[in-house]
Structure 1
Amino acid sequence: MRPLLRSSLGVLPFLGSHSATESRVITQAGLPTYPRKMMHYQTEERGQLNSPNYRMYFKNSEGKYISPFHDIPLFTEAQQDSDVPPKKLKKIENQQLYNMVVEVPRWSNAKMEIATKEPLNPIKQDIKKGKLRYVANVFPHKGYIWNYGALPQTWEDPNHTDKDTKCGGDNDPIDVCDIGSMVCSPGQVIQVKVLGILAMIDEGETDWKVIAINTEDPDAENLNNIDDVRKSRPGHLEATVDWFKKYKVPDGKPENQFAFDGQFKDKDFAIKTIKSTHEHWRALVQKKTNGGEIECKNISVCASPFKCSVDETRDVVQSAPASGSTLPVSPEVDKWYFL
């Protein structure tokens, strides 16, 4: 069976390589989406979806296998991209944009994540106690209530004690909640505007949750900070805190706690935190700090001793199980919990 390729703009049948410089407009959820040089990535699925052996690997516009953790840049250069229409340029000028790797689409339950301890860091489904992990539907929330993912080239260093939370990092890229209205696809790479941040304390670790919005969202122009979210989407931030507080309770765990009394910090604080985790990542891939079991294989990071050849990355993917049919999901995933 031929592998299914997905682009950062959605699903593509296997038709060979696709140029990142294509100027055609692809319609997504009724909105024009403009391919950009930095944003055009494909994914290749291996194994069987809904099984422990499922992996989603990433390719760049040249068809080379890459790590979404290390090879996709954190900061975008959309303002300087000649493929961006003038109206888009006006809307996002003076805004620092970030690349977000979508791991989990809104309303879905499978806890998909970048595999930080595997070569090339594919997306896979988390496993706990030998079972695939799904988040529970805690009324009134159905699965994840945003597109959930991570900012590449960031790392929450467990050896670094945050001066505000007094806890170390959770050993993962920093998490992002895209509050836009579109439902994204796993592996999609989108550009987001950062609006604020929430500091969750998960089993004694700092687990930052960046609040952001997809720049392609019709509301993106009007949402520039956390106060804009409070005004235009009443109840959404409260629902976010409620979701993170309770989502592990059906698994028999206590409610999660938060720094700052569960209050969201503003955009400036969020950007400062992101830059800090970016510096921790830089130290990680340059082997200036102990990353433990974190896998840092990459093809593009300057001065990284973990930089490898295209042949090596190809060998990693070819050693993974061949793609197969999707397996059924247990009806238990659709169960509702009333807490």
Structure 2
Amino acid sequence: MAAVSDVRAHNIGFYKPSHWHTAQEPENADGKYVSPFHDIPMYADESQNIFHVVVEVPRWTNAKMEIATKDPLNPIKQDVKKGNLRYVANIFPHKGYIWNYGAIPQTWEDPGHKDEDTDCCGDNDPIDVCEIGTKVCSRGEVIKVKVLGVLAMIDEGETDWKVIAINVEDPEAKDLNNIGDIQRLKPGYLEATVDWFRRYKVPDGKPENQFAFNSEFKDKEFAIETIKSTHGFWKALISQKTNSGGLNCKNTCVSAADSPFCCSTDEAKAVIEGTTPCGTEDPVPCSVDKWFYYEKE
């Protein structure tokens, strides 16, 4: 595996909607391309339960960026809906994403597995993370976090776990060790998080999201076990022991003995060089800055 401390964002470009959409590929210190989904180790320090997170959406921004799980080497791209780049609405009183939002690499919420707690199958993505530290991170940045808890969101009938974590380098990290510490030191933040996830799709004409456990957060231990479970599903995915569900598992760092999808450095380079060249940056629609109001159910 590549040392994750040596992985950095690379090749940030903006693309017209007819091509790739605001994509970036990471490379390691040797200049070799890697998949942010498969090649970055889940653990930064397994003995301390410190995990890596790939930042997809910096706090206060609106562009709905995500690891493109179905594309070769899984670049971070902006989601598209009906041919248009997708932005989340500002539902009053929120502005964009209210945390640094990202995913834990080498995890997968298996759509073929029904969770016994939520009674729903996984959403076919890496497990999501809300990083609640003071710093606004950069898109594509790989950070080390300690886990504080988890929220079980039900998104259109699928299990979509939201891990709550903090960057280990954040000045507040030493005081935040479990979900109760957030209640005590950041009053209102967890309630705002539930409110955000409950309502953020309403402007798109969709119903409010629902949650298991009566919309309550589970603690650190529960969250870590949930992450470990999704890592097990990923292992089955990358070793072709389960159906890939249309996901692209091409990688450069998982050993060929463990993954039939492992490719050479030259193959990875060819994938990147074969992508559509950068186009002109699309202007951000003025509607992105508007606040959306509606009466809560």
Name the TM-score class by shorter chain: over 0.9
| CA distance, structure 2, for counterparts of residue 294 and residue 143 of structure 1 | 28
Note if 1:202 corresponds to 2:155: yes
TM-score, normalised by the number of residues in structure 1: 0.83
Hey, what does 2:141 align to over in structure 1? 188
What is the aligned counterpart of 1:179 among 124, 132, 140? 132
| CA distance, structure 2, for counterparts of residue 183 and residue 138 of structure 1 | 20
Paired residues in the alignment total 289
> What's the secondary structure of 1:66's corresponding residue?
coil
> What's the secondary structure of 2:117's corresponding residue?
coil
Hey, what does 2:40 align to over in structure 1? 72
| TM-fit CA distance, 1:325 | 4.3
Gaps of 5+ in 2: none
Give the aligned CA root-mean-square deviation in angstroms. 1.5
| TM-fit CA distance, 1:323 | 3.2
What is the aligned counterpart of 1:107 among 55, 60, 63? 60
| CA distance, structure 2, for counterparts of residue 150 and residue 305 of structure 1 | 24
Hey, what does 1:84 align to over in structure 2? none
Hey, what does 2:48 align to over in structure 1? 95
Hey, what does 1:22 align to over in structure 2? none
| TM-fit CA distance, 1:244 | 0.1
Where does structure 1 differ by over 3 angstroms across 4 or more consecutive aligned residues?
49-52
Hey, what does 2:30 align to over in structure 1? 62
Contact conserved, 1:46 with 1:324, CA < 8 A, in 2?
no
Hey, what does 1:249 align to over in structure 2? 202
| CA distance, structure 2, for counterparts of residue 37 and residue 311 of structure 1 | 20
TM-score, normalised by the number of residues in structure 2: 0.94
Contact conserved, 1:50 with 1:329, CA < 8 A, in 2?
no
Contact conserved, 2:100 with 2:130, CA < 8 A, in 1?
yes
Hey, what does 2:4 align to over in structure 1? 38
> What's the secondary structure of 2:48's corresponding residue?
coil
- Cα deviations by residue, 1:14-63 (Å, 9 ceiling, x for unpaired): xxxxxxxxxxxxxxxxxxxxxx9532222233652574523201101111
| CA distance, structure 2, for counterparts of residue 46 and residue 193 of structure 1 | 28
Percent identity of the aligned residues?
Answer: 63
Gaps of 5+ in 1: 1-35, 79-93
| TM-fit CA distance, 1:95 | 2.9
| TM-fit CA distance, 1:288 | 0.2
| CA distance, structure 2, for counterparts of residue 300 and residue 320 of structure 1 | 21
Hey, what does 2:291 align to over in structure 1? 336
Note if 1:312 corresponds to 2:278: no
Hey, what does 1:236 align to over in structure 2? 189
Paired amino acid for 1:41: V
